[in-house]
């Protein structure tokens, strides 16, 4: 009997100490679904040339208007509801986006660039984000010209994330919708190859890029929940030299998101026109 009393007292003492120290933190909410609004990350389109300063403006259009599928999340467990059809993610794309930027040649084969991005999500003009980075001009004087860009993109995505209280998972009573604006940084790299024959009316080019694209990031007292995907894109097009200081280009970008299952579309297409001013 005395041994039982001692064991019970020891157990109560340990429990009281653990409780006084806060015990185990409460579990994070369960992820049900998320809806984001905004354009995909697109590496800025600069060309290798002999000029010292480049300004550009670009107008882009997207199709389809939305994309859905199934994503994975970090920091918690994903659960599904009966009406989801195996999908927990919807991406609403703007009708159009407007980009502008500048590249400054620091050395004959090295540049720094900065851009600003806008879009018309939900029929309102919104700041999409900005880019900053550096470029290495591998070839800028031959007919075949190549540049390699490394950068960081500051994203501005609107997200609505549906979470479920883990204690009510089996009776489905407590859903919480978190509305957030993801303003994370995304690294990207792009390779641009262009042909610049002076006796051709138009010249072709292609840009290949890769980026890490954060979809949402939610923090509260119970922890952090986030999701990140990779996006690969290929952008073919043509350029037309209007004058020594003005070059026009037109093309299309095809974005392929990874880490997304059961997609309603294999990718996102963007058509665009752009004007480069060379000084």
264 assigned to some structural domain: yes
Q: Which range of residues forms the domain containing residue 64?
A: 26-278
Q: What is the pLDDT of residue 228?
A: 92
Q: What is the pLDDT of residue 141?
A: 86
Per the rule left: phi > 0, alpha: psi between -120 and 50, beta: everything else, 256 is beta
126 assigned to some structural domain: yes
Contacts of 82 (CB under 8 A, 6+ apart): none
Of the CA atoms within 13 Å of residue 55, those in its CB half-sphere come to 4
Distance between CA atoms of residues 184 and 152, nearest Å: 10
104-143 pLDDT, tens per residue? 999 989 999 999 999 998 778 889 899 999 999 999 888 9
Distance between CA atoms of residues 37 and 124, nearest Å: 12
Residue 87 Cα to chain centre, angstroms: 20
7 assigned to some structural domain: no
Q: What is the pLDDT of residue 19?
A: 42
Contacts of 38 (CB under 8 A, 6+ apart): 93, 94, 119, 121, 126, 128, 155, 156, 157, 158
Q: What is the pLDDT of residue 10?
A: 42
Single pTM value for the model:
0.85
DSSP state of 74: B
- Where the chain has pLDDT below 50, the residues are 1-21
Residue 160 is part of a domain; what is its CATH number?
A: 2.40.160.20
Task: Identify the residue whose tokens are 């001013």.
Answer: 277
Please tell me the total count of domains within the chain. 1
Q: What angle do CA 178, 167, 260 make, to 5 degrees?
A: 50
Distance between CA atoms of residues 226 and 31, nearest Å: 10
42 assigned to some structural domain: yes
15 assigned to some structural domain: no
216-237 pLDDT, tens per residue? 888 877 788 999 999 999 999 9
Distance between CA atoms of residues 260 and 66, nearest Å: 14
Q: What is the pLDDT of residue 221?
A: 76
4 assigned to some structural domain: no
1 assigned to some structural domain: no
Q: What is the pLDDT of residue 166?
A: 78
Q: What is the pLDDT of residue 18?
A: 42
Distance between CA atoms of residues 12 and 18, nearest Å: 10
């Amino acid at each position: 009997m005395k041994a039982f009393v001692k064991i019970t007292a020891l157990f109560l003492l340990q429990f009281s100490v653990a409780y006084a120290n806060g015990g185990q933190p409460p579990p994070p909410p369960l992820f049900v679904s998320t809806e984001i609004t905004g354009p995909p990350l697109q590496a800025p389109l600069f060309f290798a040339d002999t000029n010292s300063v480049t300004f550009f403006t670009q107008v882009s259009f997207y199709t389809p208007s939305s994309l859905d599928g199934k994503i994975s999340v970090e920091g918690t467990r994903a659960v599904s509801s009966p009406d989801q059809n195996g999908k927990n993610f919807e991406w609403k794309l703007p009708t159009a986006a407007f980009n502008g930027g500048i590249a400054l040649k620091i050395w004959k084969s090295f540049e720094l660039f900065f851009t600003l991005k806008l879009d018309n999500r939900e029929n309102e003009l919104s700041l999409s984000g900005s880019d900053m980075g550096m470029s290495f001009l591998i070839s800028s004087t031959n007919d075949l010209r190549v540049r390699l860009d490394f950068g960081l993109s500051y994203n501005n995505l609107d997200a609505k994330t549906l979470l479920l209280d883990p204690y009510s998972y089996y009776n489905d009573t407590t859903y919480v919708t978190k509305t957030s604006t993801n303003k994370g940084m995304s690294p990207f790299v792009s390779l641009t190859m262009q042909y610049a024959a002076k006796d051709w009316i138009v010249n072709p080019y292609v840009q290949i890029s890769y980026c890490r694209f954060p979809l949402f990031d939610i923090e509260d007292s119970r922890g952090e929940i986030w999701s990140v995907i990779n996006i690969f894109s290929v952008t073919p097009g043509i350029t037309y030299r209007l004058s020594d200081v003005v070059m026009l280009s037109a093309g299309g970008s095809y974005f392929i998101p990874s880490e997304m299952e059961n997609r309603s579309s294999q990718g996102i297409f963007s058509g665009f026109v752009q004007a480069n001013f060379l000084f």
